[in-house]
Amino acid sequence: MAVDKKRRTGLFFGSFNPVHIGHMAIAAYFLAENYVDRFWFVVSPQNPFKRRENLLPFHHRVELLRRAIGDDNRMSVCEVEKHLPLPSYTVNTLRLLMEKYPQEKFFLIMGADNVPTFPKWRECEWIATHCEVLVYPRVGAPLSWPPHDASHAHLFSNFRLAPAPVVEISSSMLRQWIIRGRSVRHLMPHEAWLYLDEMNFYKKR
């Protein structure tokens, strides 16, 4: 009987605008509880549903993440979507990563608030067939299982609920605090906060 020796790698998609301790808590949880061996932050260049004027340039968000990760070699920043056509569809990114890194077994890490809309994702059937999905709780996103009507139940056979801690922090909250002159020093990894503060990101000019 063959043993699957692929490295288990979690993929956490987001704008990370900016990264905060909630993001890092999710990464720490999935690593500590042995759901995955490695954790990749997949940075999205542009979410079409978010206002572009609030979005830091891609390279700055990557740098904030790198500083947040520091010397933890279990975590990495994945910049693959920088080179893909916009808008970025998860299925395209997954296909590319699976082709480029055949030694990895990828797990899609998703907040519970994204689960109800999953049947509307582009090629959700392909994603559900080729990738296991780990779901963490989000405030205001109660889950029943299966998390949709019976006609879509088959899509969730590879979904697994993970009782990760719920952290009521969002990037939009941090941006608003900065605009109002409040300190976010204790809501971000320290080295990332130093870079953000040095560069005066999100502050009114």
pLDDT tens for 65-124 read 999 999 999 999 999 999 998 888 999 999 999 999 999 999 999 999 999 889 999 999
CA distance 135 to 160: 6
CA distance 121 to 36: 24
pLDDT at 173 over 70: yes
Q: How many CA atoms lie within 13 A of 35 on its CB side?
A: 25
CA distance 88 to 74: 25
* Residue 104 near residue 7, CB atoms below 8 Å: yes
The candidate with the shortest Cα–Cα distance to 25, out of 113, 136, 160, 115, is: 136
CATH topology of domain 7-168: Rossmann fold (3.40.50)
* Residue 41 near residue 65, CB atoms below 8 Å: yes
The pairing of strands 132-136 and 104-111 is parallel
pLDDT tens for 114-159 read 998 899 999 999 999 999 999 999 987 766 666 666 678 889 999 9
pLDDT > 70 fraction of the chain, expressed in percent and rounded:
90
